[in-house]
Amino acid sequence: MTVRYSRDHEWVRIEGDLAVVGITDYAQKSLGDIVFVELPAAGKAIEAGTEAAVVESVKAASEVFSPVSGVVVAVNEALAAEPAKINDDPAGAGWILKMKLSDRAQFDALMDEAAYAAFLKTL
């Protein structure tokens, strides 16, 4: 399963014809305990680099920017009751949304795991 990363600390992976989006382990650690997630509506068109969701922690609220363009087809409803799933498993059960990808080239242009790890060392 190929995962790509944005400079804004979101991850995206392809599952069939959908792109699954969440925040990275680095992002959830930086935020601290997540207490609320504002999810987008299904059917919403989102452009790459624009706000897709909002994650609120005990420290701050932070926008989640979509690393790719597409239309939201599903959101992780479990986060409404258990936003800490993002802290516990940011790349698994803590996924935020699934979207129908508009442009596969946007996904391909994102950082792979090695490039993201190198990027984190510069912060």
The residues, any chain, with a CB within 8 Å of residue 28's CB and separated by 6 or more, are 34, 86, 87, 90, 94
Residue 83 near residue 60 (C-beta atoms within 8 A): no
Domains, the chain, with CATH or none: 3-102 (2.40.50.100)
> What is the spatial distance between Cα 53 and Cα 41, in angstroms, rounded to a whole number?
10
> What is the spatial distance between Cα 79 and Cα 113, in angstroms, rounded to a whole number?
25
The predicted model scores a pTM of 0.96
**Residue-level pLDDT at 99:** 98
**Residue-level pLDDT at 1:** 73
**Residue-level pLDDT at 25:** 97
3-state secondary structure of 31: helix
| Number of neighbours of residue 82 by Cβ within 10 angstroms | 15
Q: Could you list the mean pLDDT of each consecutive 10-residue stretch along the chain, which spans 123 residues?
A: 94 95 97 97 98 96 97 98 98 98 96 98 97
